[in-house]
Amino acid sequence: MTKIKRISITWRSFLPVCYKEETNNKPSSPRSVLKPRLSLSDVSITGSPMSISMEDLSTSLVGSNLHIFTLAELKTITHSFSTSNFIGEGGFGPVHKGFIDDKTRPGLSPQPVAVKHLDLEGLQGHREWLTEVIFLGQLRHPHLVKLIGYCCEDEHRHLVYEYMPRGSLENHLFRKYGASLSWSVRMKIALGAAKGLSFLHDAEKQVIYRDFKASNILLDSDYTAKLSDFGLAKDGPEGDKTHVSTRVMGTQGYAAPEYVMTGHLTTMSDVYSFGVVFLELLTGRRSMDKTRPSREQNLVDWARPYLNDHRKLDRILDPRLEGQYSTTGAQKAAALAYQCLSHQCKSRPTMSTVVKTLELLQNFNDIPVGTFVYIAPLETTKEAEKQTEESKKGNGHQNRHDSHHRRGNRHRMRSPRSPTVYSSPSPNDSLTNATNSPRPSHEVKVV
């Protein structure tokens, strides 16, 4: 039997700029794609420095055109992480906007970037940073945010992504002011995010995203959705295993119930989380909202019973849509959300099935056109406006004369904004008119 040789290599040899004794600061060129893909299980973090062991290692860890930036370069492209370039902050740390071109690094095309800085006192740490480098350094898909490079100097950890000009889905869906997302845009975002998850689940080495939520879905200029923040991603089960046992992590309101109870992680956990975000798209509500009445604080518990009832569906759809959505499409979308949110994980559809369903939803064109209402002004309104203009142009004497005239005739003038309604002087007369006259009893004369 042939003995397989295992190569043990220190982490220092892969990320040399993390260590002070490394003196070679020459810009690195993009690295080749690693095949087969290095999985997170190939990395053991047992101490410092960390070590990596994998069979037949022939190339570097990261691969696939990643650039290693120096801290000085990142300060240059972000203007020393100035507050004017600050984009936002999450569990990983603050994010700043920057700009790179061939002056920053030969071969780089001019483009804006987002630079994420690991907060050493934040909720995530070096392992989450490393996880992003491993996954996004090797995975490429139109619906995954592109990782351009990283920086690792001393205790500093940075990630450099493509810049997504429209920010996160969370900012668009739950903002109090500004235009609401249209029905067609919401379906487009749902489809894009679903394609990203489907790609991860169908990969040769399966990936479970584990942190699917509205704030992790970024949008480009034409609302193409891309998944970001892979810090909690896990490799899927291998061989005969049906799940991955892991510590429960994620965001309240998005995690699948069986995962929360048992710690057993599967791709169906992601499907449930997708169902929650899809429900947020349909309702315009957050998955958890403590400001609402107690029975409505948990979105899934409140909305799920309505999803398979066509007569009550409009009660939960986002009122900001103002009825501008496909009725048939809304019913099918609700049915899909209902399946994704099934309490039985085996009853949930796969993400590839979700993608096929959402592709069909893009073709429903029975969105009603809003009714155009024209209110004709009363003649008395025009006359009143004309009199007002004449009174402004007149002299003081004329104004006093008009004022006296109006006071003398105030009982004979009627406000155009409050038209007089004539009705019968007594209930008996009204009843008689309703019986003998061909005119309907509810008709009134407005003058």
Please give the positions annotated as active site.
Answer: 211
Q: How far is Cα 193 from Cα 274, in angstroms, rounded to an integer?
A: 8
Q: Which is nearest to 104 in space by CA: 76, 63, 137?
A: 76
Structure tokens at 182: 């249209």
| CB-facing half-sphere around the CA of 346: CA atoms within 13 A | 1
* Residue 89 phi, psi (nearest 5): -150, 140
How far is the C-alpha of 64 from the C-alpha of 149, rounded, in Å?
10
- How far is residue 234 from each of residues 27, 46, 54, 217, 270, measured CA to CA in Å? 31, 18, 18, 18, 11
CA distance 273 to 53: 33
Residues 6 or more apart whose CB falls under 8 angstroms from that of 145 comprise: 136, 161, 162, 164, 218, 226, 227, 228
Element (H, E) at 359: helix 351-361
Cβ-contact 67, 160 below 8 angstroms? yes
- Per-residue tokens: 287: 């998955």
CA angle 192, 193, 197 (to 5 degrees): 120
Residue 344 CB contacts under 8 Å (≥ 6 apart), including other chains: none
Angle at 323 between CA 317 and CA 329, to 5 degrees: 70
Contact 299, 285 (CB under 8 A): yes
Provide the 10 A C-beta neighbour count for residue 85. Answer: 17
Q: Which two tokens stand for residue 313?
A: 């569906």
Pairing of strands 147-153, 67-68: parallel
